[in-house]
Amino acid sequence: MKALKAFALVLSVLSLTVEAATQTPAPASGDLDVTDLRMFVEVMDQVRSSYVEPVPDHQLWVYAVRGLLESLDPHSEFLDAQEYQDLKDDTSGSFDGVGLELGRDHGELKVIAPIDDSPAAKAGIKAGDMIVRLNGQLVHGQNYQRILDQMRGNPGTHLKLTIMRPGSTAPLEFDLVRQMIAVSTVHGRWLESGYALIRISMFAETTGKDVENAIHQLQHTGTVHGLVLDLRNNPGGVLTSAIDVADDFLDHGVIVSTRGRLPESNHQFLASPGQLLPGVPLVVLINSGTASAAEIVSGALQDHHRALIMGTTSFGKGSVQSVLSLNDNQGIKLTTARYFTPNGRSIQAQGITPDLVVMPADVTVHSSNSLYKEANLAGHLENPQAGAASDEESSISSKENQLVTSDFQLYQALSVVKAASLLQASSTPTSMRKVQ
């Protein structure tokens, strides 16, 4: 009853404001337009009195706010108390769900990227997939936040998705089981002796520090001659973590700048002196699922010529969202600025273009053995060093064959970073080379 009276009072005040405003000159550009205000009051009043079912007054206001924000761009939204807490959980590195980063594309629900090791990733859902049904219900026309709420749920519960994949004529059905997604955002490992991989699945609050720790752990077990930084299907995340990661590989210059309408939205973030792997060749892998904060890292390393960018063009999200707190633990996520790479490039709706385009591919390895080699000739001289060398070559060949068939883009990245390292070593005078 109190809400109803409050609503009626607001409508009365708005109506009086409209009446008073009609007696004044037309507003200047940017001021509240009387006609628009009258339209809003009339629509709200008609919904309250004539909609087929009664809607709580509070819910009408929430709908109005959601519509206002969601109509601005795909990334601005209202956050009620639960959604506000969910956002905090996402950036802290754990939440309940199936592990999908989603976005809106002309009213459709699009997969930006599945999170590594999540139910969605294990089931085979890919960046670019369009979700058309959720638990049998069409998602087209549904409120975006309501859809996201349905994606979450208690661990062990099922979520059924119907997906259309680009290039496919038939829908794909997935039955996923929700779980606690404890996101370990950084994984480091050796691809082969001297050449390492750092995979970043998203940017959470601790990602910058986690990258440093991963590299230090690798250095404890060997010397890093070349590094592949894998940012494929990385949907972004915390801006400051992306800046920290870029700073790990840069020692001067601009990492990223942001520009908005308000002075506090204009920032320039600079690299600090010193870096983790000075002089070590670096390749960054990106694809269409590389978005936002991951594009900031890619663009910074590309503009400073610190890394070679390989893969396919990234997602193209070049806007900055600020989370602004409201009363009752609610908030809004509002686009407040665009970001620019060190060279002043905006990647909004365009993406980062790789230096070397490498498409994903399925590769079949054919044996290169031939009967027409010196070793096949009768009476050939034996190589006294053949035993140790052939064992090592066989081990490397086996790993490369496995990599080229499982992940062609990563195989190509490894080949490039090895070539860069070998060229670097061959151009260094012998007297200046470190003894390993």
* Catalytic residue annotation: 292, 303, 317
Report the alpha-carbon distance of residue 6 to residue 46 in Å, rounded. 17
Q: Confirm if 339 and 284 have CB atoms less than 8 A apart.
A: no
| Helical segments of 305-434, H only | 386-406, 408-426
| Structure-token match 């005078």, residue found | 429
- Phi and psi, residue 368, nearest 5°: -100, 5
The two beta strands, 331-340 and 282-286, are unpaired
Report the alpha-carbon distance of residue 425 to residue 365 in Å, rounded. 30
Structure tokens at 241: 């973590």
Q: Confirm if 350 and 316 have CB atoms less than 8 A apart.
A: yes
Report the alpha-carbon distance of residue 54 to residue 194 in Å, rounded. 68
| Helix%, strand%, coil% for the chain, nearest 5 | 35, 25, 40
- Which residue type occupies 286? I
Please name every residue paired with 270 in a beta bridge, in sequence order, or none if there are none.
254
Strand stretches in 212-354, DSSP E: 226-230, 254-260, 267-270, 282-286, 308-311, 319-325, 331-340
Closest CA to 303 of 252, 248, 234: 252
- Phi and psi, residue 224, nearest 5°: -85, 110
| Structure-token match 């908030």, residue found | 331
Angle between helices 34-50 and 2-21 (to 10 degrees): 150
Report the alpha-carbon distance of residue 185 to residue 409 in Å, rounded. 20
Q: Confirm if 84 and 331 have CB atoms less than 8 A apart.
A: yes
